[in-house]
């Protein structure tokens, strides 16, 4: 039996689609239920930022989580496979007619990713004041709460519609399959078997795309 933690939303749906393809069966959560048992798997529906906690503590053997979340929370797990889902970038955003002013003694940055932000600017030896927000980050520079933001950019629509532009890209991100370190030893065969099946589906998707 393998317990799989999935992040609520589109990444969970797309991961379950992969499972449906592999096992030629329907993998779907019932309405608001947070667990689903199917064959040798038990799926847990978890908040994106909590996946690492479930997998690190062994409440889930494996999980699916964005690279940005792994980076932000320094999660102690094994990174097995890039699922090539939920592709996005972590970027610095500023107002359309602004430039990022490195000569300032302290740049004010609004973000829900304080660690990624701190590390990035520390490498540039630039002082930052981090303003921690939980969402609607794009609002901060518009109302003068911050000079810039560090946030996820997927399509770029949110920044564009709020008069912001990307000043710099900090990292590329996509959903990765991760494993609890102990489970990877104890349940090695089950995890490897699943790994190969998922890998085959991902590669078939990619080769299909290149023919379309």
Interaction site with ligand PRP (CB under 6 A): 135-138, 151-158
Q: Which is nearer to ligand PRP, 81 or 164 (CB)?
A: 164
Give min distance, CB of 40 to ligand PRP, in A. Answer: 32
137-174 b/e (C-beta count within 10 Å ≥ 16 → b):
bbebbeeeebbbbbbbbeeeebbeebebeeeeebeebb
Nearest in space to 129 (alpha carbons), one of 151, 110, 108, 112: 108
Whether the CB-CB separation of 41 and 25 falls below 8 Å is answered with: no
Give min distance, CB of 185 to ligand PRP, in A. Answer: 35
Give min distance, CB of 68 to ligand PRP, in A. Answer: 10
Q: Which is nearer to ligand PRP, 20 or 174 (CB)?
A: 174
Q: What is the 3-state secondary structure (H, E, C) of 10-29?
A: HHHHHHHHHHHHHHCCCCCC
Q: Which is nearer to ligand PRP, 105 or 135 (CB)?
A: 135
Give min distance, CB of 171 to ligand PRP, in A. Answer: 14
The alpha helices in 29-180, defined as continuous H runs, are: 51-56, 67-73, 114-123, 139-142, 157-161
Q: Which is nearer to ligand PRP, 146 or 183 (CB)?
A: 146
Nearest-angstrom CA–CA distance, 136 and 159: 10
What residue is closest to ligand PRP based on CB?
135
Q: Which is nearer to ligand PRP, 74 or 157 (CB)?
A: 157
Nearest-angstrom CA–CA distance, 117 and 200: 35
Give min distance, CB of 129 to ligand PRP, in A. Answer: 20
């Amino acid at each position: 039996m393998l317990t799989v933690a999935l992040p609520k939303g589109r990444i969970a749906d797309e991961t379950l689609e992969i499972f449906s393809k592999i096992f030629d069966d329907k993998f779907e959560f019932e309405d608001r239920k947070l667990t689903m048992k199917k064959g040798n798997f038990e799926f847990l529906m978890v908040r994106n930022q909590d996946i690492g906690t479930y997998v690190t503590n062994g409440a889930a053997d494996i999980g699916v989580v964005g690279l940005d979340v792994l980076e932000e929370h320094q999660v102690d797990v094994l990174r097995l496979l890039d699922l090539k889902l939920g592709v996005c970038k972590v970027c610095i955003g500023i107002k359309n007619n602004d430039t990022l002013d490195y000569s300032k003694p302290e740049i004010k940055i609004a973000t829900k990713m304080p660690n990624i932000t701190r590390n990035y600017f520390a490498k540039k030896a630039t002082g930052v004041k981090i303003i921690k927000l939980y969402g609607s980050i794009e609002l901060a520079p518009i109302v003068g709460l911050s000079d810039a933001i560090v946030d996820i950019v997927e399509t770029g629509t949110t920044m564009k519609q709020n008069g912001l532009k990307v000043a710099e890209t900090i990292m590329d991100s996509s959903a990765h399959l991760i494993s609890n370190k102990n489970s990877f030893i104890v349940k090695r065969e089950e995890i490897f078997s699943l790994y190969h099946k998922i890998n085959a589906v991902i590669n078939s998707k990619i080769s299909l795309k290149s023919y379309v």
